[in-house]
Amino acid sequence: MTDNLYQPTTLRIADSRDEAPDVRTFRLEFTDSGYRSEFFRRYRVGMFGLYGLPGAGESVFCVASPPTRTDHIECTFRKAGRVTSALQDREIGQTISFRGPYGNSFPVDSWKGRDLLFIAGGIALPPLRSVIWNILDRRADFGKVAIVYGARTVADLVYKQELAEWGGRIPTAYGGGTSSGYPSVGRLPTANGGGTSSGYPSVGRKDVDLTLTVDPGGETPDWKGKIAFVPTALKESAPSSENCTAVVCGPPIMIKLTMPVLRGLGFEPKDIYTTLENRMKCGVGKCGRCNAGGVYVCKDGPVFTLEQFQSLPQGDL
Ligand SMILES: Cc1cc2nc3c(=O)[nH]c(=O)nc-3n(C[C@H](O)[C@H](O)[C@H](O)COP(=O)(O)OP(=O)(O)OC[C@H]3O[C@@H](n4cnc5c(N)ncnc54)[C@H](O)[C@@H]3O)c2cc1C
Ligand code: FES
């Protein structure tokens, strides 16, 4: 099979790690080299796949790894119901079904030379992770990179190891400071001169400005980091909107409260991107499950600018 991406293929779980309570990342290897080639020919950051198990069904997750790594893909997902529970019961060495990549993507090439601001909440970091690694793999093409990421509690922050790499400081008692003035997580020891256990090269960088925050009431006693909702943390860090593109992923309430902050900072709706997570079934524009007015979120999305988002019937979102 090389050209029918509607037909599922089989992926082998090469690694599995827990990110947060009920949130797991699978590293997945293609068992069919033809499907793998076709996948990477088509895959761009922001696209999604349908991951499943015979008898249980399929679930939609973004592809959380960038197209610059072509030996595997990764997905990170929260146990929410029947399919995700069945998937989390799978172990290393076992297989799952997969079809994709589907949907549109972030226009990363059009962002060349611009500063980038990523804003994420909770489990919504995975769709941004693929973009962030894609940008870091092509670091010279872009200007400043800033990330504002928050979760309900410290335990709910996902990709703690990569946050440490991006933030470039030690997570000991979550102390230390960054150039943004916000405490951050840490620099990890690099194994073998640069590799890390996440499988990605250590960036340990000053060229990513990371702000981590947890919701008020969600901190633990040793958290010395920022305590604020994401929109508040963003407002306080007040990044410049000049020559900057913003990408926002998170729960609907976070997105709703973040957009006015970005507008207040001077970001134009055409320079703000987000992703929609309407319920889906076929994933390829056939069943009508995901519609927002005349727009198929599975085919025309899931990536939209705020300008496009505002033109959709809000009751369908
Ligand atoms: C484009 C896209 C990308 C996504 N990426 C990810 C990802 O990377 N990681 C991840 O964990 N999840 C992601 N999701 C959400 C994920 O698809 C659902 O959580 C999952 O399918 C639930 O499957 P289930 O059978 O286990 O749960 P179900 O039994 O179907 O549902 C369990 C609970 O989750 C709710 N739910 C199910 N689907 C959605 C949805 N689309 N939006 C909001 N609530 C929902 C249900 O209302 C119910 O309360 C994405 C969804 C879309 C559309
Ligand atoms: S999920 Fe079937 S049309 Fe979009």
pLDDT at 184 (0 to 100): 39
> What does the mean pLDDT of the chain come to?
85
pLDDT at 171 (0 to 100): 37
Q: What's the gap in Å between 10 CA and the centre of ligand 2?
A: 22
> How confident is the model over 21-63, as pLDDT tens digits?
999 999 999 999 999 999 999 999 999 999 999 999 999 999 9
Residue type, 86: A
Mean pLDDT of 3-14: 85
Q: Does some domain include residue 260?
A: yes
CA torsion sign, 171 to 22 to 150 to 66? positive
One domain, residues 170 and 92? no
Of all ligands present, the nearest one to the C-alpha of 83 is 1
pLDDT at 83 (0 to 100): 97
One domain, residues 198 and 66? no
> How confident is the model over 100-158, as pLDDT tens digits?
999 999 999 999 999 999 999 999 999 999 999 999 888 889 999 999 999 999 999 99
b/e burial code for range 175-189 (CB count within 10 A of at least 16 → b): bbebebebbbbbbbe
Ligand 2 is surrounded, with C-beta below 6 A, by: 280-283, 285-290, 296, 298
Domain of 68, in residue numbers: 9-102
One domain, residues 156 and 231? yes
Nearest to 71 by CA among 20, 2, 121, 14: 14
pTM, entire model: 0.87
Phi-psi bin for 283: left (phi > 0), alpha (psi -120 to 50), beta? left
Q: Does some domain include residue 4?
A: no
At CA 201, angle to CA 107 and CA 244, rounded to 5?
30
The neighbour count for residue 54, using CB atoms within 10 Å, is 9
Structure token digits, residue 306: 């705020």
pLDDT at 316 (0 to 100): 65
One domain, residues 205 and 257? yes
Q: What's the gap in Å between 59 CA and the centre of ligand 2?
A: 13
